[in-house]
Amino acid sequence: PFKILEYEAMLDWLPPAGSGTALDIGCGDGLHTMLLGRRFARTCGIDVNERFIGIARDHARAYGRRANLEFFAQPLEAIGFAPATFDVVLSVCVLEHIPNHEEVLRECLRIMKPGARIVFSVDTLQTIDDPALVESHRRQHHVVRYFREDTLRELLERTGFVNLEFKPLFRSEMARGLFIEGIREGFNFGRLRAPRLAAELRRAEAA
């Protein structure tokens, strides 16, 4: 349910569909990349996990010509994209897992076209007040650093980004309960249950 609502929120921040080049950092098995790829002339996905990239490439072949997709099993800073390549850089809850996140953000800035935008989400765990749960999540998911709006703003400004906008997600008590469940039991809510929970969570967040 969280990923469904994150995807919907990211759509609100993207330029109009139809052209341009996008980069998805930490694309995993490529699901978001394929969905977002329909909006751009070319979309690249990168992930350091070669197994995930293999799955993403298989999915892309099955997806056919509905999107122009390319996947790389390398860190962003090792690929060497040309300057001013991308109109949009995307990432869904990845920055907090990257030890050299400042270097990665500087590389994003280098490969973005003038006027391009970066749209991404991060885990904050600000609604989780149990230190043991936070530490469990950190260990399970290899989190390097949790960000708040103020620390994220300072990082982005120091790196050179301008015109920053932030949108808090998952502030409801329902979101908090689901996240605690995810930490304790795993975040696989099931393909049938997840859409129903997403609809309920959407209402809870809007209340």
pLDDT digits 0-9 by tens, 161-180: 999 999 999 999 999 999 99
Do the beta carbons of residue 91 and residue 44 sit within 8 Å?
no
Distance CA 10, CA 165 (A): 12
The encoded tokens of residue 66 equal 């509905």
Q: What burial letters (b/e) apply to 79-113, b meaning 16+ CB within 10 Å?
A: eebeeebbbbbbbbbbbbbbeebeebbebbbebbe
Question: What tens digit of pLDDT does each residue of 80-90 get?
Answer: 999 999 999 99
**For residue 10, is pLDDT > 80?**
yes
Predicted TM-score of the model (pTM) = 0.92
- Going by the DSSP 8-state scheme, the letter that residue 60 receives in this structure is H
